[in-house]
A and B are shown apart, each in its own frame.
Chain A
Amino acid sequence: MRPLILVLVVLASLAAACSNDPSEPEILRLATTTSTNDSGLLDAIISDFEDEFNARVDVVAVGTGQAIELGKAGDADVILVHSRAREDAFVADGHGTARYDVMYNDFVTVGPVDDPAAVAGTALASDAFTAVASTESTFASRGDDSGTHSKEISIWESAGIAPDPNSSWYKSLGQGMGATLNYSNEAGAYTLSDRGTFLSQGESLPGLGVMVGGASIDENVDPALLNPYGVIPVNPDKGNINSELADDFAVWITSAETQEKIGDYGLDTFGQPLFYPDSEAWGSR
């Protein structure tokens, strides 16, 4: 029996050693989309904020739908999302104090390199979607109520098509961007992706290429594919909201200094930024 107790004691003291934290930083709960997290942007910039404000940022990376719900329920102090209409509604309904522009990037339509729907180089996503539907080529939808999913639905609407999730070619995955891209790569499917996640995952997606949107945002001529991100501190009325730190975060992420870091992120790895700074402070620097 004694060896067993010894093992348990060693394991327990290991666990205690790991959880021992001398300083007590303030905690900021940030609800954001999978795209800001999967692209690696937050990891690259957030430690600056933590150092400057002696804070620890708990990042909850979910779909825009859930991020907004977390804010509504008061389970997040600040949200960073990309679905403009829902963001404005969130503020108008009194769930958030104000919305600030943070950055933008763009969506691209990606698809299998053998391109069965022959859409490579199409200028407008809605035309490409029409071709995918008429050739019944496999299309993978996020299907998770995320900002990207909302955008996909609006493109189908502008193409005048209502795809049926039970049809053989339209696959509604209900998963994050990374998983949806992996699926598309394996199954030879078209999908709508934010450029950042597609670029950052590029090496593991040998079967996929950009069909609509070109090699960089400058080549993207479809205005419907623009993807703006906003930050919204949650209304302190909800109680238990770290409002001060949330405001600090909004000011920090829109400051010219952080904006420059956002604009630089990805330059060395991908030869182009994954996100383009867009805040008021950045515009008037």
Chain B
Amino acid sequence: MQTLRRAFADALELLWSMDSALLEIVGLTLQVTLVALTIALLLGIPIGAAIGLARRLPGRAFLVPLIYTGMGLPPVVVGLFTYLLLSNQGPIGGLGWLFTPAGMIMAQTIIAFPLVLGLTMAAVQSVDPDLPIQMRALGATRRQVALTTLVESRIGVTAAVVAAYGSIISEVGAVMLVGGNIEGETRVLTTAIVLETRKGNFALALALGIILLGLAFLTNLVFHRLQVRQGGP
């Protein structure tokens, strides 16, 4: 109980002091997460919509379970895979991305992409299947059909964004492996929490956890406002 109380006091004090090291960690956390999320959205939404609409795609019986499996990729395995790719001995080691934010963004994009893809696909599929047929009959192009269906399924697509965001901002295994948790360079909130826990600074670790949750809540508040404006729940 004492640790918990001290943690809340520490969290408030940390926030109040606007400690520059903390700001750097929060800034990098947001930067890595948002860049990875943006890339995952730019790739995942169009491809997810395309697969969702192509109901008679050959290989679909294999592809859909594959995407669902990808939605549950263990972050630490993604981290390991990215690490091996980016290592000096790895195929793209020449990029020099290991232990840099670029490498962390790459790993988190790999985690977020199947989530966006799968949930967008499911959202698009939940739209009345007659809609695309009618639109086509009325002379709409494929692109117009896809866009309209996406707009119809916007609430589900926003859920995809929220799920992907939540999974990567709270992810620790991949960013720890690929980023290396280097102070002032690749340390983010989750890896800082692991470190402080390992040091036995439980109150500080919990304080960082509270800040992480607060950050996630604030961002989700924004997403929710967007959803409400679209007529969602």
Binding site for B on A (CB under 8 A): 62-63, 65-66, 68-70, 72, 143-146, 165-166, 171-175, 179, 183, 186-187, 207
Contact = CB atoms under 8 A, between A and B. Distances in A.
- Secondary structure type dominating chain B contacts: loop
Contact of A174 (B88, B177, B191): B191
A174 B181 contact: yes
A153 to B, nearest CB: 13
Contact of B200 (A69, A171, A172, A175): A69
Contact of B184 (A165, A175, A179): A165
Contacts of B144: none
Contacts of B191: 174
Nearest to A206: B89
A172 B197 contact: no
Given A65-B198, A66-B197, A66-B198, A143 B99 contact: no
B6 to A, nearest CB: 13
Interface residues of B, number: 22
Contacts of A207: 88
A69 B98 CA distance: 33
Contact of B198 (A72, A144, A171, A187): A144
B53 interface: no
Contacts of A187: 98-99
Contacts of B185: 171
B81 interface: no
Q: 6 closest A-B pairs (Cβ-Cβ)?
A: A69-B200, A174-B195, A172-B183, A145-B199, A65-B199, A66-B200
A183 B192 CA distance: 17
A171 B87 CA distance: 18
A175 B198 CA distance: 9
B182 interface: yes
Nearest to A71: B200
A153 B177 CA distance: 25
A183 B98 CA distance: 9
B202 A172 contact: no
Contact of B176 (A63, A166, A175): A175
A63 B88 contact: no
Contacts of A68: 200
Contacts, number: 64
A143 B98 CA distance: 19
Contacts of B181: 173-175
Interface string B175-206: 01100111111010001101101111010000
24 contacts: A63-B198, A65-B200, A66-B197, A66-B200, A70-B200, A143-B183, A144-B195, A145-B200, A165-B184, A171-B180, A171-B183, A171-B185, A172-B184, A173-B180, A173-B182, A173-B183, A174-B182, A174-B192, A174-B198, A175-B180, A179-B177, A183-B99, A183-B180, A186-B88
A275 to B, nearest CB: 22
B180 A62 contact: no
A172 B180 CA distance: 10
A95 B88 CA distance: 46
Given A172-B182, A174-B183, A175-B176, A144 B199 contact: yes
Given A165-B184, A175-B176, A183-B180, A69 B202 contact: yes
Contacts of B99: 183, 186-187
Contacts of A62: 198
Nearest to A180: B180
Best-surrounded residue of B99, B192, B198 (most CB of chain A within 10 A): B198
Contacts of A63: 198-199
Contacts of B184: 165-166, 172
Contacts of A174: 181-183, 187, 191-192, 194-195, 198
Contacts of A166: 183-184
A165 B184 CA distance: 8
A62 B201 CA distance: 13
A154 B98 CA distance: 30
